Each structure stands twice: as C-alpha cells, then as structure tokens.
Amino acid sequence: MLLNRRTLKAFLTLAKQTLNLKPRDSGPVVTFSELGDAFTISATHDGAWLEYREVGEFDFTLCSLPWLALSELVDSGADDLTLTMEREQNCVSWTENGTPVEQCYPDGPSKECPTFPAVDRWTAHGERLFPALWEACQTADVNSTRYALGCLCLRGGKQDLVATDSRQLLIQHGFDWPWDEEVLIPTSRCFRSATLRKGAESGPVEVGKTDEQVVFRFGSWRVALPIETEARYPDIDAIVPAHSDIKTTLTIDDTDRRWLADRLPRSSQQKKQIAAVELNGAVAIRCAEREKSPTQEWILSNSTRQGPESHFQTDVTYLARLPDLGLSRIDICDHLLFVARDSSQTYLWRGLSGDPSPRPEEIERVASPRRRGEAVSALSTSNRKQNVMPKPASQSKTSAESASEIDTVEQLIERATTIKSNLKDLQSEVQDLITALRGQKKQAKIVRNTIDSLQKLNTLQA
C-alpha cells in the first residue's frame, strides 16, 4: 500500500491536537486498514479518536506502526512510503537518494484492533459550525476544577453551543444536534486546524453521537471526542439577564466596529488591560493601545446610546472579541453585566467594579471617521426632547400651521445637533493641537539644555 507522505504528516499534526498529546507522550499506535470501499488511518487516546478516510478500491491487509517510528519516517524527508505486512511484521519501504530502503517492525497489529466509533444518525451543518467550535474553545477554561468549564456544552433541546470560564459566557444558537439532552465534551485544539477547516469548506459538516463520544465529520476527516458524563455544568439559563434588567444600550456602528477592531489590543499579545468606557455626550473608550504606550481615547463618532448615561470599566479582552463575533449591540444591565447579542449568538461578560480612572492630562484623542453625508449624534434620537412652545389659548391654529411649527422646531433641533457635533470635532482638534504643542515644548527644553551643556563644556576646555 502506497502512503502519501503529505497525508501522513497532516494526520500526525492533527492527531497531536485531537488526542491532546503532550511532547513527552510516546503516542498511540497508528492503524492502517481497509474498511469496505475505503482505506483508513486512525489513532485513539484517552477516549478521543481521529480517522482519515480515502474512498477507492484497495487490496490491503491490516497494519499498524508505532507513533514514534512513523513520526521519524515522516520527518526524515523520505518519499512516499510503501507499507506491507510480511511474516507478522509491518514493513515500510521507500527510496532515499535513489537507494531503496526498508524498515520492519516486529509488533504486528492485534486481530482485535479497535475501530472508529460507529454512528447511526448524522445531522448536517453549514460552514458556520467549525469557526463556532473554535470560538467556544477560546471561551472555556481548561484549568477550572470547580465546574466543567473546560468543556463545551452542546444543548440538544435548545440547539445551542455553550462555553464559559465564569467571567464570560458565549451561547451560539441554531445547531441541530441529533440528541435532546445536554452533552459535555472537552475543548480541542483541532478546531483551529487548517486541515479540518478545508474539510469543513469542502461540504457540510456532519455531527453524530454514540454512547461514549460525539463525532464530527469534516470531509475525509472524522473526529470523536469523549462525552464527560460525570461533569457538572453551570445553569446557563439562570445567568443570562432578562430584558427588564437592561438599563442602557450601546449600538456600535459597523464603520466604528471595523475601525475599533484595528485598535483594540489582544490578550494573546500582552498582559491584561483595562478599558474605560464613557457613554455621555459621546461614546468614548480609553485604553493604552500597547503596553507602556500613551493612553488613547477613541471616540466612536457614528455609534449611539439609548437610555441613561453610563460609564464603566472592563477587561479590554472582552471588547476585543465583539468585532470578531460580529456583535454591535451591547446591553448594560445591573450587577455590572454586559450582554451583546444578535439572532445567532449571545455573548455575556462581567465588568470591573469601581469607577473608571480619571482622564490623564496627556492623552491621544482619536475619533473614528464619520459616514459621508451624515451628522450623527452620540445620543439616540429617542433621548432628544422636543421643546415645542405651548400654544396660547387666545390663538387658534390650523393643523397645517401646527405642522409647520413642529417642522421649524425639528429643524432647530437638527441645527443644534449639527453645531454640537462640530464643536466636538473642534474640541478633538484642539486637544490634538495641545498635545502636539506640549511635545514641541519638551523638545525645545531638551535643545536648550543641550546647548547650555555644550557652552559649559566649551568654557571648561578654554
């Protein structure tokens, strides 16, 4: 049987992620077999499985190779390998620098070699499932010991994919799991694999279940993860606040969301950072773009607030996830809970106690570009009050005159809003100018000190 070296390398890489193998693990036995009209490569460890399946006509005998031996062969740079069974030995042959080479391993395969778990019922899912699984894995906490926070919760009845680390909660809706109960499986690094992503893009992702595993089928690849039957998971429905708990709502404009995504620091790149968010006359976020860099204040020119003014502070990691998840509406609730949601997902996190720190004296203030042809106020139109003068009792006006008066008041309100917006832009420009002048002042001081030092040096030399 001719084995493609590229396929073997992809299998070993993906198996390390799927089976959660550590660098010092000796690794499982890799089994090669013919199953019906397909050739398969499979491996299992601690209840997890990985299988590669290639459909075709094959004349092949069950063989197996030790993990370390196969790894050495693939890493050696050898050409495609030929695997045969000779005298109860697994023999691998290849060509190296034009010379035929053969290596045999005495331990033949067991006649009771385990096979990949069989699934009776599958449900098909679109491309959305694969990135959703990885987003869920990034939300879980694999180091948790209290609850099964290192697991993903697949809720069959509610068709949800849930993950939490007790500080943030992600519920992704609309997955037709082929079961009714809640099922817990461990997180897996395989859900960020480029190999599985290609498999997911080649056709529908299929999901099935046995008594012990949940099985995913991505094209030619199948992954089975063990079901955690003894684990406990938090009561998700009790965590999500009701709509009546919402106090203020922030709606981030799509333009602002893309603009903000390029500026928010990522937790993988640096230590934990705190962002101060102020929702008053404008939507403003203060944060250092990079560690030890000047504090920046980002003004979201096109975003709006509904409800009372609010200010809070939060871990910037959670704000940075919103553009990745495509979420733009944030509901601010009691007890420092923030909920961002749309029709396909709900993302909840807890803010930090205490008021935001005061605005520093030196701050770089940057505003997102406004949409062309629009003057957008940071306040929602639902919060604007129409101050219409009361009509004297001695005067009677027709409906047309009343409508004309209202139109005039609306125009005045619009003009006032535009002036207010222009003043904010002017304030931003003035702040930028002050910052630049302070920088020039510092440079001038350095130059004067340098000149004084040189003059003193010349005096000493004379």
What is the Cα–Cα distance from 184 to 158, expressed in whole angstroms? 14
Amino acid at 413: I
**Strand 295-299 with 364-367, pairing:** parallel
Give the pLDDT score at 189. Answer: 95
Q: What CATH number was assigned to the domain covering residues 122-237? A: 3.10.150.10
Domain limits, CATH 3.10.150.10, in the chain: 2-105, 122-237
> What secondary structure does DSSP assign to 216-276, as a single string?
EEETTEEEEEE--SS-----HHHHSPPGGGEEEEEE--HHHHHHHHTTS--TTTSS--EEE
User: How does DSSP classify residue 1?
Assistant: -
Return the pLDDT at 421. 59
pLDDT digits (tens, 9 = 90+) for 433-449: 776 677 677 777 777 87
Statement: 2-105 belongs to CATH 3.30.70.20: no
**Contact status, residue 257 vs residue 322, Cβ threshold 8 Å:** yes
DSSP state of 334: G
Pairing label, strands 38-45, 213-218: unpaired
pTM score: 0.75
In whole angstroms, how far apart are CA 290 and each of 67, 256, 300?
Answer: 43, 20, 19
- Supply angle C-alpha 428, 431, 435, rounded to 5: 140
Task: Report CA-CA distances (Å) from 380 to 246, 282, 323, 371, 454.
Answer: 16, 11, 22, 16, 60
CA distances from 210 to 26, 176, 233 (A): 28, 16, 21
- What are the tokens at 440? 């020039």
Position 272 scores a pLDDT of: 72
Which helix H or strand E contains 209, and what residues bound it? Answer: strand 205-209
Low-confidence residues of the chain: pLDDT under 50: 268-270, 375-407
Tell me what pLDDT residue 11 has.
95
Which residues, in sequence order, are CB contacts of 440 under 8 Å at separation 6+?
none
Please give the structure tokens belonging to residue 40: 């398969």
- Model pLDDT for residues 273-311, shown as the tens digit of each residue: 888 999 988 899 988 655 556 788 899 999 999 999 998
The correct answer on CATH 3.10.150 for the domain covering 242-339+353-389+412-421 is yes
